[in-house]
A and B are shown apart, each in its own frame.
Chain A
Amino acid sequence: GESVGLHLPTLSVQEGDNSIINCAYSNSASDYFIWYKQESGKGPQFIIDIRSNMDKRQGQRVTVLLNKTVKHLSLQIAATQPGDSAVYFCAETFGQGGKLIFGQGTELSVKP
């Protein structure tokens, strides 16, 4: 039979506001982290990454923060736009060629 899906955490923001999406990762040995954006019915799209020797990295309108002490990762989106509406996943890995372990995801909804 059909499996029952979990309810994704959701974040609803007003257009133009900043968004912060959080992620707790599981493996203290993980040394590379990536944020992906997944729109409905599509594959994940790379947003930004960070290695464990850094605690902050900035891209265009996005910033990733890494706190290894508490195994926490966050994605900040500045001036959120309707096109940012999607599910956002963090992923962790360790070692070269290591497997990606995905977090549960957060659904971002941007209200115009």
Chain B
Amino acid sequence: GAVVSQHPSWVICKSGTSVKIECRSLDFQATTMFWYRQFPKQSLMLMATSNEGSKATYEQGVEKDKFLINHASLTLSTLTVTSAHPEDSSFYICSVSGISYNEQFFGPGTRLTVL
């Protein structure tokens, strides 16, 4: 399967600042990447689907102006949490869509803590 990395693995920021999280597909050209959010003791919730070269598709209830997604190349997608607040503190995970039917390969996640 595809190898996916995320950077940073954890980040602590002050309320009101913006944070950028990178998702890289290291050995696979990914036309589609997904961003998930996971709160403690909860399941993964899809935030948006990121397609290379086009605008991301956001799930209902996810603010596109707050969670900016850029998928400028086949190996990199970025998620920017703008004007972060403590309620944005969560575990953010990206995944890469594989060649085979509905395969997804997940990154290691990024722990965001907003003070």
Chain A: residues with CB nearer than 8 A to chain B?
1-3, 5-8, 32, 34, 36, 41-46, 89, 93, 96-105
Give the shortest distance, in Å, between B70 (CB) and chain A (any CB): 20
B95: chain A residues within 8 A (beta carbon): 43, 100
Check A5 against B109 for contact (C-beta < 8 Å): no
Chain B: residues with CB nearer than 8 A to chain A?
1, 4, 6, 32, 34, 39-46, 49, 86-87, 89, 91, 93, 95, 97, 101-109, 111
Check B46 against A100 for contact (C-beta < 8 Å): yes
**Among A44, A98, A105, contact of B106 (Cβ-Cβ < 8 Å):** A44
How many A-B pairs have beta carbons closer than 8 Å: the answer is 65
26 A–B contacts from the bound complex (CB under 8 Å): A1-B87, A2-B86, A5-B39, A5-B40, A6-B41, A7-B41, A8-B41, A34-B102, A41-B91, A41-B111, A42-B108, A43-B107, A43-B108, A46-B105, A89-B44, A93-B102, A97-B32, A97-B97, A98-B102, A99-B34, A99-B46, A100-B95, A101-B46, A102-B43, A102-B44, A104-B42
